[in-house]
Structure 1
Amino acid sequence: MTIVDSGRSPVMKKIITVVGVLAASALGLAGQAQAGPAPMPNFKGKPLMAVYRTVDAGTRIDVRDVSGFKRHVLWPANWKACTQVPAAGAPVGAPVEIGVVKNAERCP
């Protein structure tokens, strides 16, 4: 930002500069906010805890056992992701659905 010297005091010049910098910062942040959410990462084969750490806290995550045993996921650290909706690269929707199996098992 260039300020033309029009006889203003040094203090006034600093105030104008600070206001200009703040306005430019606000415009930059507004542009970032309009960019939208990040695309859905690929969670296949990753620990279920990585899903919880990565997805925004306001997003609902539905987890289900896809091994065929219909088990309940009580301790997420013991499970890994096999399937996901939405797919990797798609916009994150609510809810996120993750199909899981125990860490020692193979994904179907």
Structure 2
Amino acid sequence: MASEFGILERKSRCCYFIGQAVSDLGSTASIMTPIFEEIFIDLIQSISACIHSQYRSAYQSLRSALELSVAVVYFADHPIEFSQWKNDTWDFQFSMLREILSENYANTQKH
């Protein structure tokens, strides 16, 4: 069981490293680096809570990580909304998750 959590921990670090790689690019997307770090923290908190049989906390942290992951996809395509969200002038509606996860969204956002 401990090795399974070790594997999960290493995989969750990918979010952190992706954020660092994006930051190193120096692109406008690099301002999203803190979101990748937050996703990583949420994943680690979820794993830790699960190890300690705190499943409700584990699910809450996992949900936060998943929601932020989808938000990053949306913000990559909508930099104005990201800027507004970052400045607390626009609120990301998590009811949009179904739309963002749809195949139609992926097909319409091709650059």
Same fold (TM > 0.5):
no
Specify which structure has the higher proportion of helix.
2
Q: TM-score range by the shorter chain?
A: under 0.3
Higher relative contact order (CA 8 A, sep 6+): 1
Higher-Rg member (1/2):
1
Please give the TM-score of this superposition, normalised by the length of structure 1. Answer: 0.27
Specify which structure has the higher proportion of strand.
1
